[in-house]
């Protein structure tokens, strides 16, 4: 029985994965073709690329192909107008860096609200409180970005399963004109997994990851594990280079085209290639057409994206073979100029990052917070913050502070200039304050131990820090959503000033910071069948009220537009007065 497989998290530009020895044929000298990127070269021909890629993949082939028996496969099935006058003041998507916007399910420019909930693009007119436009999308959407009268929508198209255990995923990018009724200008399908995207000005960079698609078999009762392994090794050893190349399908301006997203002789790789998958950054210019994204492709993996106004970082946690990840590789792309990014440098740090908030750039340095799990060298987990500096084509270690939260792991991180905050948790919640002003000697300055934990931290003005997570008892059993207000004025003695606890609940904001709205003094987060609205004072948190929605657990996002609070769920949009929360409108989605 055959199936299509995907690559394990093997990797990357920096470092070589350890794996079992598998014959890979004669060594082939790889001619060097400059790519314009430091430390990266391109294969001089497709034959050379195929030989190198086969050699890289063979050590990771198992009787199940590339990974265990349960896998997800990666493959597919005009100028901005200026805003009108008197656009009301409004909140924006909660994002890590102000200079780099992030895609989300709902966006507003103050004049309209654009939603891509449940696979439909809806444009709501703020002034009239009505749905001004509606358009079906090619499939489920993961987010949207706006610029003027244009929207760029990202989706994940799911096809039929290849067999009962494997689903087929793809990335769809759709450019939509919003100057009148929504009108699709172009759609690009890519045989790759959507990782994330960042927007700087009118330029969007989209990161996708693609693994080779090969017809691997697996033990199914008619084939033994040994025989399946032998056959899979033969398949990998003779795989064509096309198996690695993600394909695209573009529909734009009444024309259709398709082909390889990147030519095999334009795949960049390090002098000693070790990755088995491709990491591609696509670039789209809002005022222009959609196109195919002018791909920049590197032999690497990646699952976490962090962006600033000048840099795009992609991090990948990896281990030896199929063992748990032990290090995180980080790749930096320069996005300081218009057009495609330029690969700049790579490095690695011990441990595994939690999410994009584990990374932060400040004064040309990158700080990375990671958790180190128990292994042969340590009996308990702990966490560390490593400071990296770019030197040539490498991100090199400048300093580190180790030993945070022995026996615990990182639950949230926030960096603010030369200061860092790290929450670890197992039974109690140590909030660590870090002094990073001397990058060669970062240090812990303070620690606050309380029950529960914060899953997301948010700066709330001078000396104040907000956290949302779970309250817990002394044994670490969670007891419901909790919002905390911390005083971090004295980094040596952080304190908790106030907490608001809702027993037996969880909030989407604990897992997705885009669901967290803070526009002082108002804090709004989805909880249960609605949105909890709080007032955050200098030393207190009080409830303003709750905005209910018809569908339990369906509340998604909140935004402030003028003097109103707009909350969005799967069922529709509810508009309430910000002062007092009196209902002003209900806009159903059906």
Say which range, 9-23, 78-92, 164-178, 410-424, has the weakest mean pLDDT.
9-23
Q: Give the separation between CA 332 and CA 316, rounded to whole angstroms.
A: 12
Q: Is residue 530 part of a domain?
A: yes
Verify cis geometry, omega within 30 degrees of 0, for the bond prior to 196.
no
- 479: tokens are 């007891």
pLDDT of residue 379: 67
Q: Which of 448, 478, 506 is the last residue of a domain?
A: 506
Which DSSP symbol is given to 559?
Answer: E
Q: Is residue 342 part of a domain?
A: no
Show Cβ contacts of residue 538 under 8 Å, excluding neighbours closer than 6 positions.
464
Contact 322, 20 (CB under 8 A): no
Say which range, 167-176, 193-202, 234-243, 437-446, has the weakest mean pLDDT.
167-176
Return the SS3 of 29.
coil
Reported confidence tier of residue 154, pLDDT bands at 50, 70, 90: very high
Residues 403 and 534 in one domain: no
Any idea what the CATH number is for the domain that residue 461 is in?
2.130.10.10
Which DSSP symbol is given to 547?
Answer: E
Residues 586 and 491 in one domain: no
Return the SS3 of 310.
coil
Contact 193, 201 (CB under 8 A): no
Q: Is residue 336 part of a domain?
A: no
Beta strands in 417-521 (DSSP E): 419-425, 428-435, 443-451, 453-459, 464-472, 478-487, 495-503, 517-519
Q: Which of 506, 536, 556 is the last residue of a domain?
A: 506
pLDDT at 489 over 70: yes
**Would you put residue 318 in left (φ > 0), alpha (ψ -120 to 50) or beta?**
beta
pLDDT at 160 over 60: no
Q: Is residue 428 part of a domain?
A: yes
pLDDT of residue 29: 40
pLDDT of residue 82: 41
pTM of the model: 0.88
Q: Give the separation between CA 109 and CA 101, rounded to whole angstroms.
A: 13
Reported confidence tier of residue 378, pLDDT bands at 50, 70, 90: low
Q: Give the separation between CA 127 and CA 191, rounded to whole angstroms.
A: 40
Could you identify the residue written with the tokens 């606050």? 448
- In the chain, how many domains are there? 2
Q: Is residue 405 part of a domain?
A: yes
**In sequence order, what are the beta bridge partners of 448?**
431
Beta strands in 261-326 (DSSP E): 268-270, 278-285, 296-299, 304-307, 311-318
Any idea what the CATH number is for the domain that residue 590 is in?
2.40.10.480
Residues 445 and 488 in one domain: yes
User: Model confidence over 200-239: pLDDT tens digits?
Assistant: 999 999 999 998 888 999 898 899 999 999 999 999 999 9
pLDDT of residue 503: 96
Return the SS3 of 117.
helix
Q: Is residue 449 part of a domain?
A: yes
Contact 138, 155 (CB under 8 A): yes
Provide long-range contacts, Cβ within 8 A and 24+ apart, for 249-252.
249/76, 249/188, 249/189, 250/186, 250/187, 250/188, 250/189, 250/290, 250/291, 250/292, 251/186, 251/187, 252/175, 252/185, 252/186, 252/187, 252/188, 252/289, 252/290, 252/291
Burial class (CB in 10 A: 0-12, 13-18, 19+), 152: buried
Residues 471 and 420 in one domain: yes
Q: Give the separation between CA 454 and CA 443, rounded to whole angstroms.
A: 21
Residues 401 and 529 in one domain: no
Q: Which of 506, 537, 552 is the last residue of a domain?
A: 506
pLDDT of residue 158: 58
- What share of the chain has pLDDT > 70, as a percent? 84
pLDDT of residue 474: 85
Find the mean pLDDT for residues 484-493: 98
What value does the mean pLDDT of the chain take? 86
Which DSSP symbol is given to 320?
Answer: S
Residues 363 and 495 in one domain: yes
Q: Give the separation between CA 182 and CA 195, rounded to whole angstroms.
A: 26
Contact 544, 488 (CB under 8 A): no
Say which range, 4-18, 207-221, 266-280, 503-517, has the weakest mean pLDDT.
4-18
Max mean pLDDT among 43-52, 64-73, 501-510, 544-553 falls in 501-510
- 585: tokens are 């409108």
pLDDT of residue 479: 93
Residues 496 and 569 in one domain: no
Q: Is residue 523 part of a domain?
A: yes
> 3-state SS string over 449-467?
EEECEEEEEEECCCCEEEE
- 87: tokens are 């656009």
Q: Give the separation between CA 303 and CA 323, rounded to whole angstroms.
A: 17
Angle at which helix 225-237 crosses helix 46-57, to 10 degrees, equals 160
pLDDT of residue 52: 85
Reported confidence tier of residue 143, pLDDT bands at 50, 70, 90: very high
Residues 483 and 395 in one domain: yes
Residues 498 and 526 in one domain: no
Residues 366 and 448 in one domain: yes
Say which range, 44-53, 195-204, 395-404, has the weakest mean pLDDT.
44-53
Cα separations in angstroms, 1 against 213, 223, 571: 16, 9, 43
Count of CB atoms within 10 A of residue 378's CB? 11
pLDDT of residue 12: 33
Its domain, for residue 395, covers 351-506
Residues 541 and 588 in one domain: yes
User: Taking Cα atoms as reference points, which of 212, 150, 242 lies closest to residue 173?
Assistant: 150
pLDDT at 125 over 60: yes
Residues 446 and 531 in one domain: no
pLDDT at 532 over 70: yes
Q: Is residue 302 part of a domain?
A: no
Could you identify the residue written with the tokens 């002082």? 520
pLDDT of residue 42: 76
């Amino acid at each position: 029985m055959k199936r299509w497989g995907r690559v394990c998290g093997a990797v990357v530009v920096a470092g070589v994965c350890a794996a079992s020895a598998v014959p890979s044929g004669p060594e082939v000298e790889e001619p060097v073709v400059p790519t314009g990127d430091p430390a990266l070269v391109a294969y001089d021909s497709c034959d050379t690329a195929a030989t190198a890629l086969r050699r890289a993949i063979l050590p990771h082939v198992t009787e199940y192909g590339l990974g265990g028996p349960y896998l997800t496969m990666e493959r597919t099935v005009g100028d901005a107008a200026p805003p009108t006058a008197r656009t009301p003041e409004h909140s924006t998507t909660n994002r890590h860096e102000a200079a780099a916007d992030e895609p989300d399910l709902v966006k507003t420019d103050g004049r309209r609200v654009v939603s891509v909930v449940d696979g439909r693009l809806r444009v709501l007119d703020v002034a009239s409180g009505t749905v001004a436009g509606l358009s079906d999308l090619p499939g489920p959407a993961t987010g949207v970005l706006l610029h003027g009268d244009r929207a760029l929508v990202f989706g994940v198209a799911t096809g039929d399963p290849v067999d009962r255990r494997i689903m087929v995923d793809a990335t769809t990018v759709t450019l939509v004109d919003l100057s009148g009724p929504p009108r699709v200008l172009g759609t690009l399908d890519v045989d790759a997994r959507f990782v994330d995207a960042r927007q700087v000005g009118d330029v969007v960079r989209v990161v996708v990851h693609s693994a080779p698609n090969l017809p691997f078999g697996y033990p199914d009762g008619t084939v033994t594990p040994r025989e399946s392994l032998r056959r899979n090794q033969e398949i990998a050893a003779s795989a064509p280079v096309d198996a690695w190349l993600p394909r695209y399908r573009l529909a734009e301006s009444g024309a259709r085209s398709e082909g390889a997203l990147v030519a095999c002789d334009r795949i960049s790789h390090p002098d000693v290639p070790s990755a088995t998958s491709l990491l591609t950054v696509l670039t789209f210019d809002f005022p222009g057409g959609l196109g195919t994204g002018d791909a920049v492709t590197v032999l690497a993996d990646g699952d976490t994206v962090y962006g600033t106004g000048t840099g795009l970082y992609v991090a990948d946690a990896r281990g030896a073979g199929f063992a748990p990840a032990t290090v995180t590789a980080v790749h930096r792309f320069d996005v300081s100029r218009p057009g495609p990014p330029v690969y700049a440098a790579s490095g690695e740090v011990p441990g595994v990052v939690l999410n994009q908030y584990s990374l932060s750039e400040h004064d040309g340095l990158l700080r990375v917070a990671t958790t180190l799990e128990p292994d042969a060298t340590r009996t308990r987990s702990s966490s560390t913050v490593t400071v990296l500096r770019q030197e040539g084509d490498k991100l090199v270690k400048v300093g580190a502070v180790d030993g945070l939260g022995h026996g615990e792991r990182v639950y949230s991180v926030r960096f603010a200039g030369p200061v860092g905050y790290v929450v670890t948790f197992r039974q109690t919640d140590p909030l660590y304050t870090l002094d990073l002003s001397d990058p060669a000697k970062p240090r812990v300055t303070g620690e606050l131990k309380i029950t529960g934990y914060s899953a997301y931290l948010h700066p709330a003005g001078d000396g104040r820090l907000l956290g949302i997570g779970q309250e817990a008892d002394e044994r670490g059993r969670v007891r419901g959503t909790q919002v905390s207000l911390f005083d971090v004025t004295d980094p040596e003695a952080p304190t908790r000033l106030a907490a608001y606890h809702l027993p037996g609940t969880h909030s989407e904001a604990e897992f997705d910071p885009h669901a967290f709205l803070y526009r002082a003094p108002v804090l709004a987060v989805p909880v249960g069948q609605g949105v909890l609205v709080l007032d955050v004072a200098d030393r207190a948190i009080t409830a303003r009220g709750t905005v209910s929605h018809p569908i339990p657990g369906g509340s998604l996002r909140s935004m402030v537009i003028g003097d109103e609070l707009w909350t969005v769920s799967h069922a529709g949009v509810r508009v309430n007065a910000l002062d007092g929360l009196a209902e002003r409108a209900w806009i159903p989605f059906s």
